[in-house]
Structure 1
Amino acid sequence: MVTARRGIYVLIMNEQNPVILVHGMWHGSWCWSRLTGQLAAAGVPSVAVDLDGHGLKARSPRARWSRPFDPAAFATEPAPSAGVTASSAAGDLVAQIRLAGNGRPCVVVAHSMGGVVATAAAELAPELFAELVYLAAFAPVSGVPAADYIASPENEGEKVGALLRADPAVVGALRLDPGDPAGHAAARDAFYHDVDEPTAGAAIALLTPDGPAGIPGETFPITPARYGSVPHTYIVCTGDRAVPAALQRRFVTEIDAVSAAPTTVVELATSHSPFLSAPEELAEVIVKVRS
């Protein structure tokens, strides 16, 4: 069915809830390409979005491109995205969900630190969420910022911190150096250890160097009346080396403390990035949630 709205023709593939795909820190809408094909094959319409400070909305520090490369300048130059917060990114995400779903409730799938933004968005506009699906994601619903969980016992053994190349307090971002070949093995180990090497290499090359520190650093209110009214599913990636499974399970417990209904939990024996390593299995989970 095709409808006209403000001079733009919107194709509504069917009357079921569309799926909105929200990437994690340093990633972009590009990371969902293998999954969107699987969803399309199952007849499920999906839209992958870019969060503020990421993908086509990212701006790299100038020092990233300087030649010869100056590590000291790279480690101290303020991030162009330093002003992005969880709240500002959530407001932008709400607008994207409303546009892509034509005002209808959507199934929102949020990965990793994208879960922070989706959590804030669900509090802002619960009517736009048919379901919030966390994929190995941060879900700060207990009144503390996501950054506090990074130092928690459940996060012990994570391999992301060793990738940082600047002090977040200095540059306003969690800064990686995707252009450093010497760091590719560590990045693959953290994010993509079960992804084929060519694809993992391509993904690392596409990473945004700056993840805005204001996303994990902000505390925002969560209420049972708004966020808690949204149905939740949590996909635990049991082989995750970026967000350990123990931390993922802690988030499930905390979500249940503020939600009207228990969280549906599904486990996948994958790395942090099943959208690249197991897109067919991930699509099956999303299709089941949406049905």
Structure 2
Amino acid sequence: MSTLVLVHGFWHGSWCWSEVVPHVVAAGRLTVAVDLAGHGLHARRPRWFRAQPYNREAVSTEVSPVADVSLDDAAELLTSQIRRIGRGEPVTVVAHSAAGPVLTRTAEQTPELVAHAVYLSAYMPASGKSAAAYTRLPEAADDLVAPLLQGDPARTGALRLDFATADAAYRQRLHEAFYGDVDPVLAEAATGLLTPDGPIGIMLGTTALTREGWGSVRRTYIVCTRDMAIRPGVQATFISEADAAFPDNPTSVVALDASHSPFLSMPGELADIIIPLG
């Protein structure tokens, strides 16, 4: 079967798959986790994040060092990663959350490199629509991430979360948004690894989808039914729009009774889903 390439979402890094990878490898499936543009080893933290004393105003106003990262940049990086990993052969890509539009762009531009596009509670925007547009849907009204964002993204160039704050209530809301069903000790450890800025350009970019490009690639959507970051109603919208646009290549759908981060809360169950996808 094709190699599995795992791509994390905003604020995370390839580290978030560390509990899933052993299950997949034990089943005999080659797998590699990579860093999204502006994250992991490609992250650049704003000055306020480590500055002392804590500067609340800077949290809301400092321009992000990853403000110039666009959807084009992210897709170019992912394409180079999967080309290297697959040595030119197609791979199966599992994209979480905000990695979804990056996978979509990559599959549209180089469908020959993507054997299977798997969206794990991820943005899967329709042709010509940005991922950001879906955050304004009525179905997204009660998501828990939007109220946690700091500053104006148009000014900072990022979707920013404040991981430097000592506000216990804010940190608890972060856990509820991302790690509602994750062991609290593990959730706290994961929070300590998050980076504050997700490049807004990834969320604002759009991709024109074609039947010969993204529409030709097999796709699976893994719905997280207790997700408080990308609500299930929004996830259903992605699926219905894709199937309406490309009815000859319908989306396979799998449901997990999980929050936004099943790679931490139920890594074995998640591995069981993605291992057979080739």
TM-score, L = length of structure 2: 0.97
Stretches of structure 1 that go unaligned for 5 or more consecutive residues are 1-15
Partner of 2:257: 269
Among 173, 192, 203, the alignment partner of 1:216 is 203
Letter matched to residue 265 of structure 1:
V
Letter matched to residue 194 of structure 1:
D
Q: Does 1:258 align with 2:245?
A: yes
Q: Does 1:286 align with 2:271?
A: no
Partner of 1:12: none
SS of 2:116's partner is: strand
> What is the RMSD computed on CA atoms of the aligned residues?
1.0
Among 20, 26, 31, the alignment partner of 2:11 is 26
Could you tell me how far 1:63 is from its partner in structure 2? 1.4
Question: Which stretch of the first structure deviates more once superposed, 41-50 or 249-258?
Answer: 249-258
Could you tell me how far 1:256 is from its partner in structure 2? 1.4
Partner of 2:154: 169
Q: Does 1:229 align with 2:216?
A: yes
Partner of 1:125: 110
Stretches of structure 2 that go unaligned for 5 or more consecutive residues are none
Question: Which stretch of the first structure deviates more once superposed, 216-225 or 271-280?
Answer: 216-225
C-alpha contact 2:4 2:31 (8 A) present in aligned 1: yes
Letter matched to residue 75 of structure 1:
S
C-alpha contact 1:184 1:201 (8 A) present in aligned 2: no
Partner of 1:140: 125
Letter matched to residue 133 of structure 2:
D
Write the deviation string for residues 84-131 of structure 1: whole angstroms up to 9, x where unpaired: 111110011000001011111111000001101111111111001110
Among 57, 74, 80, the alignment partner of 1:95 is 80
C-alpha contact 2:119 2:222 (8 A) present in aligned 1: yes
- In the alignment, the residues of structure 2 paired with residue 181 and residue 70 of structure 1 have an alpha-carbon distance, to the nearest angstrom, of 12
Partner of 2:65: 80
Letter matched to residue 227 of structure 1:
W
C-alpha contact 2:5 2:91 (8 A) present in aligned 1: yes
Matched residues, number: 275
Q: Does 1:37 align with 2:25?
A: no
Partner of 1:184: 171
TM-score, L = length of structure 1: 0.92
Question: Deviation above 3 Å: which 4+ runs of structure 1?
Answer: none
- In the alignment, the residues of structure 2 paired with residue 229 and residue 243 of structure 1 have an alpha-carbon distance, to the nearest angstrom, of 26
- In the alignment, the residues of structure 2 paired with residue 167 and residue 35 of structure 1 have an alpha-carbon distance, to the nearest angstrom, of 35
Letter matched to residue 229 of structure 1:
S
Q: How much identity, in percent, do the aligned residues show?
A: 49
